[in-house]
Structure 1
Amino acid sequence: MGFLEVADRVWVARHAWFDVNVTLVGGSRGLLLVDTHASSLAARGVVDDIRALGVGEVTAIVNTHEHFDHTFGNQVLRAAYGAVPIHAHETAAEQTLAAGDRIKALYTADTTDPHRDEVLATEVVPADHTFSSAVALDLGDRLVELVHPGRGHTAGDLVVRVPDADVLLAGDLVEESEESGGVPGFGEDCYPLEWPLTLDIVLGLTTSSSVVVPGHGAVVDRDFVEDQRNQIGILAETVRDLASRGVRVEDAVAAGEWPFPAQRLGSAVRRIYEQLPRSQKRLPLI
């Protein structure tokens, strides 16, 4: 639907494919683009939307994590705007090529997906400017902060804070989308046990008036983030309790009471069982 301004010189484009958000942050030195969509073809649409907005040129890119729906447009944006720096957490940058190979293998196997050809044709370009904890980017008349608050959706998540506008771009640490039923992205590389603590750090970067842009879905507020943090915390503690009582991982989804639809929690439950220390797991009851 193109870019809409959600705060002073912060524009969000919400795309139908994956209900993913692509965000622009404007400064006197140019535009910071946060996430680049899921293919070269989709990214060309992003470039068209930026030019239609008419507020400047992209001078830097941020990937909030390594997944393809946030990184596969990197090459096209570079082709459009030159060798602009691409920023990401060091772990995300390190994992981008491997993550791209995994998703291309899935699309290769699925001959029915309408996006198959464009995903397979995309050249994967990882970030070349990395950090471990936090870094500030100078956009001229405003500073933007990149913060790695901890592991959650992936090991290399970052959030983007625009302090003067009281905006936080949360990546997939926060998701609102109806496409997922409001369930966060519990993939095979997530860290559900650590995710609530990571969101505690994120909440510490917000105020009661903050505009929070999730990786997918509508713009939300601090209360939404706090609610989702608590739901993920309940999920983690429920699995911890089941494991401590000897419930087997394959039986856990059916045995628990969940804050999210049970059919969407298989990966999350498996990951928690994998990440629990042995002292918190008992042998299955017979």
Structure 2
Amino acid sequence: MQFSLTPFEELRPGIWRAVAQPAGVNIGLIVGSTAALVVDTGSSPEQGARIRAAAESVAGVPLIGAVVTHSHFDHYYGLAAFDDLPTYGHESLAAALLADGLTAEAAELGFTPDELRAPNRPLALARMVDLGGRHVEIVHFGRGHTAGDLVVIVPDAQVIFTGDLLEQSAPPAMGPDCFLKEWPTALDGILGLVREDTVLVPGHGDPVDRVFAFTQRAEISAVYGQVEYLIGRGVKAEDALAAGDWPFDDDTIAGVLPIAYAQLAAEGKVPRTRLPLL
């Protein structure tokens, strides 16, 4: 596994972004007049330490904490390097360190699960962090990409770190732990804050604007809506790719269809055989 980190680039005064490999994840650095905060921490404790050192060299003020936007490895597993500071994440993140498959995932990334740390300042809804002349709002708008997505808002700079609720470098990752029906509602929380000059930093890829965000919100909603429509017509999962009108490429849709069908089945919505009219 190849680990790397680009230099931090300044997006707006005191707002910085670096990109960590593997997975091309965006790492944020928010600097105020007296303190700084890191957003997401990379894929391993060792990479987290490198991110911390790079952030401290750029910030020029003490680093006072780190935020993890959700539970996936590329955002979360570097958090141990910040454990002597306040670390913020959704209250669901501790349970993610007990998940099946963690031992194998950690081994592939070059460490053991006992090296990982959960956030020491877990939150359910929101938290504010004062950086001196700049405050940062950490908000859970609801379930979407995962059960514990957090958004990091810098109101004075009109910058929002969205985690993987938005992605620019590829279609959004709609995995088995996503909540397709609720995801657009979580994005509505972000979109309610967005102005024409707002910069949105997605979990992966280049910063985007409100048009991109509105479009991706509509596309995610369309996936769920199209599956619901096909189920109502009696179309089974194995036939849905050919039968539907989809906003993403075939590989993306083929991956999400079993997930969408299972989530709708949990609501009691399954394809029914349609009897011919006499």
Say whether the fold is shared (TM-score over 0.5).
yes
Show the counterpart of 2:89.
88
After TM superposition, where is structure 1 displaced by more than 4 Å over at least 4 residues in a row? Answer: 119-122
Show the counterpart of 2:81.
76
Show the counterpart of 2:142.
150
Q: Does 1:171 align with 2:166?
A: no
Show the counterpart of 1:20.
25
Q: Does 1:135 align with 2:127?
A: yes
Q: Does 1:225 align with 2:213?
A: yes
Aligned partner letter, 2:272: L
Could you tell me how far 1:195 is from its partner in structure 2?
A: 1.0
Q: Does 1:105 align with 2:104?
A: yes
Show the counterpart of 2:3.
none
Aligned partner letter, 1:105: A
Show the counterpart of 2:237.
249
Show the counterpart of 1:197.
185
Cα deviations by residue, 1:59-115 (Å, 9 ceiling, x for unpaired): 11101011111111111233xxxx101111212x2333135x53442465xxxxxxx
Q: Secondary structure at the match of 1:239?
A: helix
More deviation, 48-57/255-264? 48-57
TM-score by length of 2: 0.89
TM-score by length of 1: 0.87
Could you tell me how far 1:284 is from its partner in structure 2?
A: 4.3
Q: Secondary structure at the match of 1:94?
A: helix
Residues 20 and 135 (structure 1 numbering): CA distance in 2 closer, same or farther, change over 3 Å? same
**CA–CA separation in structure 1 for the residues paired with 2:262 and 2:50:** 40
Identity among equivalent positions (%) equals 38
Residues 143 and 179, structure 2, Cα contact 8 Å, conserved in 1: yes
Could you tell me how far 1:119 is from its partner in structure 2?
A: 4.7
**CA–CA separation in structure 1 for the residues paired with 2:17 and 2:49:** 16
**CA–CA separation in structure 2 for the residues paired with 1:11 and 1:107:** 28
Could you tell me how far 1:281 is from its partner in structure 2?
A: 3.0
Residues 284 and 35 (structure 1 numbering): CA distance in 2 closer, same or farther, change over 3 Å? farther
**CA–CA separation in structure 2 for the residues paired with 1:164 and 1:259:** 34
Show the counterpart of 1:8.
13
Q: Secondary structure at the match of 2:115?
A: coil
Structure 2: any 5+ residue segments left out of the alignment? 1-5
Residues 152 and 9 (structure 1 numbering): CA distance in 2 closer, same or farther, change over 3 Å? same
Structure holding more helix per residue = 1
Residues 282 and 117 (structure 1 numbering): CA distance in 2 closer, same or farther, change over 3 Å? closer
Residues 47 and 21 (structure 1 numbering): CA distance in 2 closer, same or farther, change over 3 Å? same
Show the counterpart of 2:53.
48
Residues 44 and 77, structure 2, Cα contact 8 Å, conserved in 1: yes
Show the counterpart of 1:281.
270
Pick 1 or 2: higher relative contact order, CA cutoff 8 A, min separation 6.
Answer: 1
Superposed CA RMSD: 2.1
Could you tell me how far 1:46 is from its partner in structure 2?
A: 1.3
Could you tell me how far 1:238 is from its partner in structure 2?
A: 0.7
**CA–CA separation in structure 1 for the residues paired with 2:178 and 2:59:** 38
Q: Secondary structure at the match of 1:173?
A: coil
Residues 58 and 96 (structure 1 numbering): CA distance in 2 closer, same or farther, change over 3 Å? farther
Q: Secondary structure at the match of 1:233?
A: helix
Residues 188 and 267, structure 1, Cα contact 8 Å, conserved in 2: no
Cα deviations by residue, 1:29-84 (Å, 9 ceiling, x for unpaired): 31111110001232233133224425223211101011111111111233xxxx10
Aligned partner letter, 1:84: L
Could you tell me how far 1:201 is from its partner in structure 2?
A: 1.3
Show the counterpart of 1:36.
41
Residues 20 and 37, structure 1, Cα contact 8 Å, conserved in 2: yes
Q: Does 1:208 align with 2:196?
A: yes
Structure 1: any 5+ residue segments left out of the alignment? 109-115
Residues 102 and 43 (structure 1 numbering): CA distance in 2 closer, same or farther, change over 3 Å? same
